[in-house]
Amino acid sequence: MYKVFINDKVICFTNNIENYKAFSNNLVLNFFSLEITPFLIDLLNSNDKMNVIIVVKDCDVAFNEFQTYFKIIKAAGGIVSNIKGEKLFIYRLDKWDLPKGKIEKGESIEIAAIREIEEECGITGLSINKQLNDTYHIYQLKDKLILKQTYWFDMKTNYEGELVPQLEENITKAEWLETNQINGRVLKNTYASITELLNLSGYLVSS
């Protein structure tokens, strides 16, 4: 299954019709062709609550075709834990987010994730525990539609110094947050893709 976020809405590619029942207010399609892609994007951009569920036999084939409509950007980042078990978050453009950034040419996804977190938060001593689920989201950049794939890692550090937000990247805060703070103020003001990642990775406590 693939989930692609447009703001807080989803285009979901699945081969299991039961999966779409987790969503409300769905448009369910039992086929996919590249020609319907602009219609789906316009639909989601004009409807605050609509999700699109595409039920196909081979999700990989359909999703690979879907990707050809966009300029692809690949990024990497992480959910970083300190020795207290707190998680590292940034505040950028009036939203809570996780540190991440574009992968440079010739750079591995692991090295890119570490470099971007170091640059965005002024942190050192990062190590990777394991890879997490990728996320996908669509946005407009000038006259181009971008599909960004972000590779995520579970990471740790024993860094105890000051965090320094990367102001030139519009990051105004870099903070260590406890689980109750994540469940509270972060989830009230973050992206749906970040909430999804945190849930799938087991970092949230259900109330």
Please tell me whether residues 39 and 80 are part of one structural domain. Answer: no
5, pLDDT greater than 80: yes
| Average of per-residue pLDDT across 21-30 | 75
Residue 42 pLDDT exceeds 50: yes
Mean residue pLDDT of the chain comes to 92
Has residue 205 been placed in a domain?
no
* Residue 207 located in a structural domain: no
Residue 135's pLDDT band (cuts 50, 70, 90): very high
> Which residue reads 């893709």 in tokens?
193
d(CA 117, CA 109): 12
Q: Is residue 131 part of a domain?
A: yes
Residues 34 and 77 in one domain: no
119 and 39 both lie in a single domain: no
Give CA–CA dist 200/198, Å, rounded: 6
Is there a single domain that holds both residue 59 and residue 131?
no
The overall longest dimension of the chain from CA atoms, in Å, is 53
Q: What angle do CA 80, 164, 166 make, to 5 degrees?
A: 95
**In contact, 123 and 49? CB cutoff 8 Å:** no
Q: How confident is the model at residue 20 (pLDDT cuts 50, 70, 90)?
A: low
CATH code, domain with 142: 3.90.79.10
Looking at 42, 67, 92, the residue that finishes a domain is 67
* CA pair distance 200, 79, nearest whole angstrom: 12
Band (pLDDT 50/70/90 cuts) for residue 16 is confident
In a domain, 206, yes or no: no
180, burial (CB in 10 Å: exposed 0-12, middle 13-18, buried 19+): exposed
Structurally, the chain folds into a number of domains equal to 2
Higher pLDDT, 76 or 142: 76
The whole model's pTM is what? 0.92
User: Which of 17-31, 67-81, 152-166 comes out lowest in average pLDDT?
Assistant: 17-31
Residue 63 pLDDT grade (very low, low, confident, very high; cuts 50, 70, 90): very high
Query: Contact, 160 vs 82, CB < 8 A?
Result: yes
